[in-house]
Amino acid sequence: MRFTHAILRVPGQHFAQGLSSAGEGPPDLERALEQHAAYADALRACGLQVEVLPADLDHPDSCFVEDPAIVTEAGALLTRPGAPSRLGEVVTLRPVLERYVGSVSSIEAPGLLDGGDVCDLGGRFLIGLSGRTNAEGAGQLSRWLEARGYQAETVDLADHPRLLHLKTGISAIDEGRVVTVPGFPAARLLDGMERIEVEAGEEYAANCIRVNDRVLVPAGYPRLTERLEGLGYQTLPLPMSEFRRMDGGLSCLSLRLSLRPG
């Protein structure tokens, strides 16, 4: 899929008050803003038109704009984020998404779903059942996807507490090729796919994103970067230290859209 647009939200003054289990200390806001600007520039270098939304000061995690929405070529859906402090993030996102794709659907209570738990393997979607996404939310999304001709399967993350979201542990970088953490759950769902397993110590880099002709990877994980380059990918390493402190990865920082002209 070729992406044409991306929606980002800049981290606000209260970024450090967001949710975190990383134990790496509070983020430096100035450095986070620099890293965010570099991320936006990287998406522009990949050919995307980038809209950076203003900070949402009521929601310190709202720069992780991937979680409150799912965008496919067949339409978009607002989620119902699983952390109570993030539930309201959908409110200001709705009119923005509607500008791009027209009307959007929603996950309804008691469903809970974070976009970080949804991995598109090329029309087949894996949905993680995590601390943020419940069976009801996954079921609502599955039905929405299936009604649009996609397939959906769930992956239980209950025994994988280090995976905040499904995409903490897997990234689709090509048709039939994924990057995963070692011991990725329900590996049978990846049968027939080529799996690039990150090495111990580089687990954070399993969250990388293919954007048109490049793969954006977090800076500082040279073994995965070398392997991807060896496979012929042009990588774009990006500093992510301040987002990592807040449990965020590369995919979390944008909603990527593929819009047809006109």
Q: Which sequence positions are flagged as catalytic?
A: 165, 252
* 64: contact with ligand GLY by CB under 6 A: yes
117 binds ligand GLY (CB under 6 A): no
Does 246 help bind ligand GLY (rule: CB under 6 A)? Answer: yes
Q: Do 137 and 80 touch, CB atoms closer than 8 A?
A: yes
Q: How far is CA 61 from CA 50, 102, 178, 243, in A?
A: 20, 25, 27, 10
Dihedral Cα 9, 173, 155, 183, nearest 10 deg: -110
Backbone angles phi, psi at 177, to 5 degrees: -140, 125
Stretch that binds ligand GLY, among 120-128, 138-146, 193-201, 241-249 (CB under 6 A): 241-249
CB 66 within 8 A of CB 250: no
Site for ligand GLY in 220-239 (CB under 6 A): none
Total number of residues shown for the chain: 262
Which CB sits closer to ligand GLY, 27 or 237? 27
Residue 90 contacts ligand GLY per CB under 6 A: no
Binding of ligand GLY at residue 56 (CB under 6 A)? no
Residues 6+ apart with CB under 8 A from 59: 85, 86, 88, 89
12 is a contact residue toward ligand GLY (CB under 6 A)? no
Cα atoms found within 13 Å of the Cα of residue 198, Cβ hemisphere only: 24
Selected from 16, 19, 152, 187, the binder of ligand GLY by CB under 6 A is 19
- What is the nearest approach in angstroms of ligand GLY to the Cβ of residue 60? 8
Give the shortest CB-16-to-ligand GLY separation in angstroms.
Answer: 11
Among 6, 248, 251, 257, binds ligand GLY (CB under 6 A): 248
The footprint of ligand GLY (CB under 6 A) covers: 18-20, 61, 64, 83, 246-248
